[in-house]
Amino acid sequence: MFGRRDLVKLVIPLIVEQLLSATLGMADVLMVAFAGEAAVSGVSLVDTINMLILSVFAALATGGSIVSAQYIGREDLENGRRAAKQLLLVTFALSALVMLVCVLGQRPILRGLYGQAEEAVLQNAHTYFLITAFSYPGIALYNAGTALFRSMGNSKIPMFTSALMCASNIVINAVLIYGFRLGVLGAAAATLFSRTLCAAIVLALLRRRTHLIYIDSYLRWRPNFSMIRSILSIGIPTGLENGLFNVGKILVQSLITTFGTAAIAANAVANQTSAMSDIPGSAIGLALITVVGQCVGAGQYAQARKYAFRLTGAAYAMMAVLNAGVLIFVNPILGIFGLSPEAAGIARELMIFYSISCAVIWPSAFTLPNGLRAAGDVKFTMGVSILSMWVFRIGFSYLITAMFDLGVLGVWIAMVIDWIFRAILFIARICGNKWQQKKLI
């Protein structure tokens, strides 16, 4: 169903999009570093919460895009369009509710999670959390819209809108942080503006009837509960998986706050650079949603498995090259963040450990299971991910740091143990046939 040229045309823009997304996150940290380590640490703490919330929105987007991709594979475009509209309806309702909860409850949320952090770190976190919460509807609708374009095999529009988001965010960051010296406030305002702008553009582009999937009108909405159930049958398990995964990360982040501000800052920088290391695997994982979803919709399960392994292999090749580059240039990369010698030393250790582990294990643990999700086998991926997260990443984080006094490195070792467990089970699952028995539409 997909030739080599089709796959290249799909994957390359996705890689560029993921690169821009990672660059955006890194640019925020770099520019906020101008205001000091307390500012970097505050933004890092809130970013962990934001990742939890955005992962739920991304899960909904995944559910909608899988349903649409399977309808496209079945050549039932009318129902694909209906599913797209239901996705936007559910996404907006959920994101508005989450925004309201976070705006009203941001102080008790932060104090409850990170009460042990220094007061200067918490003050920066309060500012960043309050303003970025207003961007949730924008980024949720943006994610849903770009996921729909990917389900059609159109990855260029997500790439170009991601470029616009990145450019506008960096320019406004520069003006507000360096020009007006607003620090964390400026970074949050830039995030709010760029997300809202790009959401409006994506929604406008979805109105074009030249696309396979388009929205006939934003003025007429009627819930279709059958399609909403199909979307949520993917979105809820994926959301639980992503949500509990990020809850675990927050708990681990809370452990890291006990190691001091230098450890928090080093962890924040290593997290940003690790996002760059994951780019090929993340991009190809998004491509798997489209490719496997359309194959399953057409009933071509043998092709679905073939593409899952072929694209995961491509992710391994690309990530090996990229992470080799990170290892070679680790010191120049660290130099641009302006960390203290103590924080830089911790960050260097984390980056080296992560790059090696990422190239060897990450694609099987995180790229490959997207093929299972696209086939509707989301309960299995959810069960494996939740079990692995809580037993290995969280449980072993506390165990390793307590027994071996490794500090933040112990947390990252536990994370890689989590990856190994996932990879073994996901490879075994896709080699079998049970995933082919899941029906979505």
Q: CA–CA separation, 270 vs 162, rounded Å?
A: 23
Q: Which residue has the higher pLDDT, 250 or 50?
A: 50
Residue 36 pLDDT? 81
Taking the model in full, what pTM does it have? 0.84
Question: What was the pLDDT predicted at 1?
Answer: 79
**Side chain identity, residue 92:** F
The pLDDT score that the predictor gives to residue 41 is 85
- Average pLDDT taken over every residue of the chain: 92
Q: Could you tell me how far CA 263 lies from the centroid of its own chain?
A: 23
Report the C-alpha gap between 140 and 62 in whole angstroms. Answer: 12
Measured CA to CA, the distance from residue 415 to residue 412 in angstroms comes to: 5
Burial 309-336 (b: 16+ CB within 10 A, else e): eebbebbbebbeebbeebeeebeebbee
Backbone angles phi, psi at 8, to 5 degrees: -65, -45
H helix or E strand, kind and range, residue 323: helix 301-328
- Binned at pLDDT 50, 70 and 90, residue 23 comes out as confident
Residue 78 makes CB contacts below 8 A (sequence gap 6+) with: none
Q: Are 151 and 68 in contact (CB under 8 A)?
A: yes
Tell me what the mean pLDDT of segment 107-111 comes to. Answer: 92
SS3 category, 217: coil
Structure tokens at 252: 């681990």
If phi over 0 gives left and psi between -120 and 50 gives alpha, with beta otherwise, what is residue 28?
A: alpha
Residue ranges with strand state E in 174-264: none
Contact indicator for 196, 133 with CB cutoff of 8 Å: no
Determine contact, residues 20/159, Cβ cutoff 8 Å: yes
User: What mean pLDDT do residues 204-213 have?
Assistant: 96
Say how far apart CA 211 and CA 214 lie, in whole Å: 6
Q: Which residues contact 223 (CB under 8 A, 6 or more apart)?
A: 86, 89
Given a cut of 80, whether residue 260 has pLDDT beyond it is yes
- Output the CA–CA distances (angstroms, integers) from residue 8 to 72, 159, 280, in the order listed: 20, 14, 12
Confidence of residue 268 (pLDDT cuts 50, 70, 90): confident
Q: CA-CA distance, 65 to 231, in Å (whole number)?
A: 9
351 in Cβ contact with 330 (< 8 Å): yes
Burial 236-264 (b: 16+ CB within 10 A, else e): bbbbbbbbbbbbbbbbbbbbbbebbbbbb
Of 207, 197, 108, 123, whose CA–CA distance to 161 is shortest?
197
Of the pLDDT bands very low, low, confident and very high (cuts 50, 70, 90), residue 340 is confident
pLDDT surpassing 90 at residue 381: yes
Classify 117 as helix, strand or coil. Answer: coil
Instruction: Look at residues 67, 90, 68 and name the one whose alpha carbon lies nearest to residue 213.
Output: 68
Quickly state the pLDDT bin for 359 (edges 50, 70, 90).
very high
Among 133, 134, 161, smallest CA distance to 145 is for 161
> How far is C-alpha 170 from the chain's CA centre?
20
Q: At 334, which amino acid appears?
A: L
